[in-house]
Amino acid sequence: MMQNSSVENTKFGSINSIRIGDKLLDLTIPVVMGILNVTPDSFYKESRDKSTSGTLEKAREMISFGATIIDIGGYSTRPGADDISIEEETERVIPIIEVLRAEFPEVLISIDTFRSHVAEKAILAGANIINDISGFEIDPKIVDVAAKYNVPYILMHMRGTPKTMQTMTDYKNIFKDVSLYFSKKIAELKKAGVNDIILDPGFGFAKTIEQNYELLNNLEAFQLFEKPILAGLSRKSMIYKKLGITPEESLNGTIALNAIALKKGAQLLRVHDVKEAVELIDLLK
């Protein structure tokens, strides 16, 4: 699934690979990250599941449709989500990671957590990537875990916590503020020994609908950091609230915004609907 890649500009993003262990993940053609929520309360009900069998079936389907990465999360990050214990989050995600790693040795697994304990347990169980929505604001030790195990770190922009973030949308200039955030955080990560970094602007996290679209329309400017860009737009409120529909009715909107993101340099799409995202990438090759 991973192969060597030269570094040169393409019609997609400007960064063509990222190191994962002793290999390079080729990003010449964008890749799809499938969302696998091991939670009972994610905003999109079709992605909710606490049973191992149901979650594994979803993962198998995503892989069969062409997902390169499976992103496993046991803590709901929807706006206003309630807190759960570290122990409960760990108990939700580790069994799934272990079974997936055994069944699909080549698939890449991302752990969607902001807690260092959960991240470390997940890596030891077979995860390859840390996806931290908090930019190590909630648990700074997660950076040490990424450095210790030499795994890529997805740096997302957010303010506050999932419970408080939507009260923290006051920016002087959203693009400038997010850029300054990335600049500061990248320097801190490199100082800690984390060099394999993916940037996620954090659509829907501590941002109004208008701010989300401003970031999307300027997404290509984030290539100045020379890091791969991840777009997580799937079925989010910037789609369904703008259209006056539900998350369940937001697939068409998701595809449309993902197409814009790809044209503006995104090299990873984090989605609930893997088949449609893979087809979109194929059409834009």
Q: What is the pLDDT of residues 179-209, one digit of tens each?
A: 999 999 999 999 999 999 999 999 999 999 9
Residue 8 lies in a domain: no
Number of domains in the chain: 1
Catalytic residues: 236, 270
181: domain CATH number is 3.20.20.20
Q: Is residue 11 part of a domain?
A: no
Structure confidence at residue 44 as a pLDDT band (50, 70, 90): very low
Three-state SS string over the chain comes to: CCCCCCCCCCCCCCCCEEEECCEEEECCCCEEEEEEECCCCCCCHHHCCCCHHHHHHHHHHHHHHCCCEEEEECCCCCCCCCCCCHHHHHHHHHHHHHHHHHHCCCCEEEEECCCHHHHHHHHHHCCCEEEECCCCCCCCHHHHHHHHHCCCEEEECCCCCCCCHHHCCCCCCHHHHHHHHHHHHHHHHHHHCCCCEEEECCCCCCCCHHHHHHHHHCHHHHHHHCCCEEECCCCCHHHHHHHCCCHHHCHHHHHHHHHHHHHCCCCEEEECCHHHHHHHHHHHC
Is 255 part of any domain? yes
Please report the pLDDT score of residue 45 as a whole number: 52
**Could you tell me the residue range of the domain that residue 255 belongs to?**
17-284
- Give the pLDDT score at 137: 95
pLDDT in tens, 140-156: 999 999 999 999 999 99
Q: Binning pLDDT at 50, 70 and 90, where does residue 267 land?
A: very high
In a domain, 12, yes or no: no
Tell me the whole-structure pTM to 2 decimals. 0.90
Which pLDDT does position 49 carry in this prediction?
52
pLDDT of residue 230: 98
Average per-residue pLDDT for the chain: 90
In a domain, 130, yes or no: yes
pLDDT, position 43: 45
